[in-house]
Structure 1
Amino acid sequence: MSQPLVLLQQKAEPLLDVQEMQLWLEKAVAWGQADSPDAQKDTCLHLSRLRDFLQQLLTHIHNTSSTTETMKRLPVIGQFLGRLCWNPYVTADDTSRRLLLQNLWGLYSEHPSNAVERKANQWIRKVLCQLTTEDDDTATQTLVKHMGVPTTQYHLTVLRKKVALVQENIGKGCSLPIDRSERCSCDRILAASEACVPLVTCAEAAPLIGALLQRPLICARAALSVDFLDALSSAYSSNCLLLEEQTVVSMWYHSLSSLEEAVLSLLESVLANTGSTLHRLEQQLAQSLLPKACAQHCSIFLVVNDIFRSILKQLEGNECIKSAIHTFTNCFIRELSLLQPKMSISLKAFFPQSPQNLLGPLLTQPSEMPQESWRHHLNWLSGSLQRLTEEEEEDEDSSRTGGHHKVFEAWFLLVQCAHWMQATAQLLVTARPEDCDPLLRLLTFYHHPTNKGHHRAQQLVRAKDAWNHLCPLFSVLACPPPIDHLQSLVALLSPNPQQPSLTPLSVLDLLVNFAVFSQKSLSGSTEILQTVVDRTGLVSEAVCVLGSLELRLNRGSCLSSDGNRVHLRIKALQNTLTHMYAAQSPAEKQAHTHPL
């Protein structure tokens, strides 16, 4: 026989016999739930032929363009499959159950186009849910009584087999049919995710959930059900579901609402723990899995970054938020480095809105270059930011030309890379008067990025005043410290309603760095720091600054040729301030809580 004739005969195979379907329906009605010995015996006798018919029915469904067309030709198909689902002698047989479930999934419409298909979808989900979760079914009890198996164990066995079967099916690659009127094999993905909606909290369904979430999206028809993703997100956020790390990352990748909820929940937690040190904050952020997810998927990082950008615009003066953004970026960069060279995505893809000339210099860690190069590096950054802000301020309508956007994005990147601010504060301890202006400009820009509402020009003057008072106070020759400089420093750290005040924490940061890195004796430095924070009430804030400095020193953001001496000074200053904080009343502690 010639090959064309064979193909013609294969295409012309007979359609499903409608009368045979009616006969099988009558059999299913007669069997009922196999309560009687006769029904049980007859079911077992016809099981082999039933499997053959179910296979023919499955082929017919796959070759039909829609569920509506199938139901027009076979109007009793739903009644037939539904009755078989409640016959425990049919569902207990592995092959029969597999074919039965495949027929149900084959009838599920990915995009229901009419009321018939929508109603069919609802019925299919209900049948699948009841089939795997109903524990008080009398037919099941009858079967397990004969088999001697506990009801719960029976249902768990059925559920595990169902999960394994669906997992096997969704693992198959995309295979588009030659005839475009037929269904793509990826249609089963949506149906499987729909069937999982009532099972998201079942531990037995975890492998299937993981397989669905981690399946590559190589076909547009392989999308997951929105109901499934919403149910999964709700169960996970309410701690009703335990998922493996990679499954959680995949869930965030598929569900924007789930990702947004995770980020906002993390930020709420950070803001709630106002007394957290930078070390605890870093632990909290790293344990959230979000930095790892961002490193694996650029799209996730862009969403997280947009949320941070929006929050920063609303709470630009909140040091806790700024520290959280910086710490998160550090965790992300660390996770990204662990993926290299597997990841070939450029950093520009992760930071598309940032000024590209600043991206590399700011993302570079201070520990990645010699300390003697810091000053030149920071001077270049200061000059670049100054030119950017001057261009914006010279434009009369910066909001329309995008100038203000550029300045904000530069500042946002600087907040993400705030390790260079710590290096700036450290260098100001030993800077000469002629060298301090670029460093002070950079530090001021970090706290006051624009002149509109931030009064950057006035703040720069006050920042230099603070530096001019700190230098003589921490001079090795000044013993006792000049009282006039001490009083002026306290005044700078105290808010003044008559004049915009420099952010106290920026001056406090300089003060702590002078106390740690200057050559003044430890006792002299401790006395100055203790006096200033006692008079201003900034004890807890100073403790936080010291803790942050210690952590960044360990990470390499701060370097010193005499590291042992610096660590000893930090510990001694921490002990002094901790005793001072313990001696404060609850009201004083509450009044001066300004987390870093």
Structure 2
Amino acid sequence: MAQDSEDLVSDYQFWLQKLSVWEQASSKETQQDTCLYLSRFQEFLRRMYEILKEMGLLSYVLSAFRFDMKEVGLFTKSLGFEPIDYYPSLLKNMVLSLVSELRESHLNGLNTQSRMAPEHIMSLSQVCVPLVTLPDFEPLVEALLTYHGHEPQEVLSPEFFEAANEAFLSKKIILSTSSVVSLWFRHFPSLEKATLHLFEKLFSSKRNCLRGMECCIKESLLPQAACHPAIFRIVDEMFRSVLLETDGAPEVLAALQVFTLCLAEALEKENKQLKFALKTYFPYGAPSLTAALSQHPEAIPQGHRLQPLLHISQLLREAIEDSTHGSQRGPFESWFLFVHFGGWVDLAMEQLLRKEAEPPAGLLWLLVFYYSPQDGSQQRERSMVALKELLNRLLMLLGSGPLSAVDLQEAAESPSPPICAQLVRCLLLSLLLWTPEGHASAREAITRMVHTDAAAHEIVGFLDQTLFRSDHLCDEASRKLARELLQELQAQV
């Protein structure tokens, strides 16, 4: 290592002379010489930068702990090392020593004599604020984030949490899941910023498919963190705000439902269902309703899906009717709980398209409530009557020979009173995709439905959702048709 230092000093003298020559002459020979040596000069500058960076860092860290760089230099020279050679090892050993001390302090618990003082940990976290993106400091950042003392107050500085969160979100540092969860649990402003960061990624493109949303959500680590109810409640409140601000935009509903699926998967992986009651995740919903909705719809056999759907419809209806005499918050809370679990809506649509049975009133109510939650009870009853008439006409067309796109369009435009246009479109699309009779006229019928960009995006969303949940909704022929239609429409919008 001493030899390296001597080489650097020698190189330094060499380049000083070279620079002096280059500066004083501008001949052709000088230009050629510059070109010849330029790459070597760049390498020399890179080496100088690395050494100076190590000395900036050490001086900063040591001064925070009241050490003197001159004393360190004298000590290392007495060992036969040049300071320039010892800096990298000293920095690495210092980080490892601090990590060990933090872990021992964490394990010592209430043994105050063997623990780091809270003010020392606070000082250490402040020292690390400008250093969190440096690879050498990753172990120390991790150790600080996962350190849990027994002090009543937080022992890490808010600036440290903010710096670590920003570095993680911008992918300038790699942190373990446990340290990220600890960061968000201990500093809610960082959690809020992480959630907003996820929203920006999810909603920045209208063509963000559900598989893409799923990857983005899992990569964010928010579902894993949301296994803790306190974190889930904050993320869920932010979803609620976006839903209200966008008046229930389909892409926001889709993102919420995908996030809920990712959370359920994380809960199963962590086996935390027994640790926290569902009431702690959804405090405003009736426990019986929450328990019914949290079942996996796709796990229910084909012939046994009607009964749980009717049970959910009854529980929702009871919750809304009970709330009409009290707070107006109730109907929205019931709807907000319901929309987390969108798979039940798909199953309700599937059951209504079964030709062998009269459409159950409970399923009609469930769909009308999902698509028009703001309606009062009388308006909802009228919509149920109109939806039943439309459904009967569609099923009659389905059983009377080849489907005509014109007949389907006329049937969809005839309900009186009018039904929510989105519900009508979803019913038509379901019939076209999920029934063998609808496949032949699907292209023509969908072309007639695409009047505006908004309608086109809505249909693209429906097709994407069908493929996302297709394993338990439709057969391979329906999936193939949905993929083809989705590709054709995406090329147009």
Q: TM-score, normalised by structure 1?
A: 0.64
The RMSD of aligned alpha carbons is 3.7
Fraction of identical pairs, as percent:
25
User: Contact 1:174–1:185 (CA<8 Å) still a contact in 2?
Assistant: no
Q: Which has the higher contact order (CA 8 A, sep 6+)?
A: 1
Distance 1:342 1:382 in 2: 24
Distance 1:143 1:577 in 2: 68
Report the AA paired with residue 339 of structure 1. E
User: Contact 1:186–1:221 (CA<8 Å) still a contact in 2?
Assistant: no
Distance 2:485 2:159 in 1: 56
Distance 1:214 1:577 in 2: 45
Q: Does 1:424 align with 2:341?
A: no
Q: Does 1:128 align with 2:52?
A: no
The alpha carbon displacement at 1:417 in A equals: 0.7
- The equivalences for 1:15-414 within 5 A come to 127-128=63-64, 140=73, 147=80, 149=82, 151=84, 154-171=86-103, 172=105, 173-175=108-110, 185-220=117-152, 223-295=155-227, 297-340=228-271, 344-393=275-324, 395=325, 401-402=326-327, 404-414=328-338
The alpha carbon displacement at 1:333 in A equals: 0.5
Distance 1:167 1:580 in 2: 55
Distance 2:444 2:460 in 1: 15
Q: Which range moved further: 315-324 or 432-441?
A: 432-441
User: Contact 2:443–2:485 (CA<8 Å) still a contact in 1?
Assistant: no
Distance 2:310 2:444 in 1: 30
The alpha carbon displacement at 1:510 in A equals: 1.4
Distance 1:362 1:245 in 2: 28
1:520 match: secondary structure: helix
Distance 1:341 1:282 in 2: 21
The alpha carbon displacement at 1:176 in A equals: 5.3
User: Contact 1:473–1:482 (CA<8 Å) still a contact in 2?
Assistant: no
Report the count of equivalent residues: 433
Q: Does 1:516 align with 2:440?
A: no
Map of 1:592 onto structure 2 = none
Report the AA paired with residue 351 of structure 2. L
Q: Does 1:440 align with 2:364?
A: yes
Q: Which range moved further: 268-277 or 418-427?
A: 268-277
**Taking structure 1 as reference, are residues 380 and 148 closer, same or farther at Cα in structure 2, changes over 3 Å only?**
same
The alpha carbon displacement at 1:257 in A equals: 0.9
User: Contact 1:184–1:221 (CA<8 Å) still a contact in 2?
Assistant: no
Q: Does 1:570 align with 2:487?
A: no
1:421 match: secondary structure: helix
**Taking structure 1 as reference, are residues 533 and 322 closer, same or farther at Cα in structure 2, changes over 3 Å only?**
same
Distance 2:144 2:274 in 1: 24
Distance 1:445 1:432 in 2: 24
The alpha carbon displacement at 1:356 in A equals: 1.0
The alpha carbon displacement at 1:144 in A equals: 7.1
Distance 2:94 2:129 in 1: 14
Superimposed CA distance per residue, residues 500-552 of structure 1 (whole angstroms, 9 cap, x where no aligned partner): 9644332222122212332416324x256335434577444333312211221
Distance 1:536 1:273 in 2: 18
The alpha carbon displacement at 1:439 in A equals: 1.0
Distance 2:382 2:77 in 1: 83
**Taking structure 1 as reference, are residues 420 and 579 closer, same or farther at Cα in structure 2, changes over 3 Å only?**
same
Distance 1:157 1:126 in 2: 14
The alpha carbon displacement at 1:203 in A equals: 1.4
Distance 2:148 2:437 in 1: 61
Superimposed CA distance per residue, residues 230-264 of structure 1 (whole angstroms, 9 cap, x where no aligned partner): 22223333443332333222221221111101111
Q: TM-score, normalised by structure 2?
A: 0.76
The alpha carbon displacement at 1:375 in A equals: 1.0
Listed as ranges, the gaps of 5+ residues in structure 1 are 1-91, 102-123, 396-400, 493-498, 590-596
2:206 match: secondary structure: coil
User: Looking at CA atoms only, which structure, 1 or 2, has the larger radius of gyration?
Assistant: 1
Report the AA paired with residue 401 of structure 2. A
**Taking structure 1 as reference, are residues 279 and 177 closer, same or farther at Cα in structure 2, changes over 3 Å only?**
closer
Listed as ranges, the gaps of 5+ residues in structure 2 are 1-54
1:479 match: secondary structure: coil
User: Contact 2:314–2:362 (CA<8 Å) still a contact in 1?
Assistant: yes
User: Contact 1:326–1:416 (CA<8 Å) still a contact in 2?
Assistant: yes
Q: Does 1:481 align with 2:413?
A: no
User: Contact 1:174–1:184 (CA<8 Å) still a contact in 2?
Assistant: no
Distance 2:157 2:417 in 1: 54
Distance 1:413 1:279 in 2: 23
The alpha carbon displacement at 1:322 in A equals: 0.7
Map of 2:449 onto structure 1 = 533
Distance 2:205 2:376 in 1: 31
1:547 match: secondary structure: helix
The alpha carbon displacement at 1:471 in A equals: 1.8
Superimposed CA distance per residue, residues 80-133 of structure 1 (whole angstroms, 9 cap, x where no aligned partner): xxxxxxxxxxxx9xxxx9xxx9xxxxxxxxxxxxxxxxxxxxxx989228979x
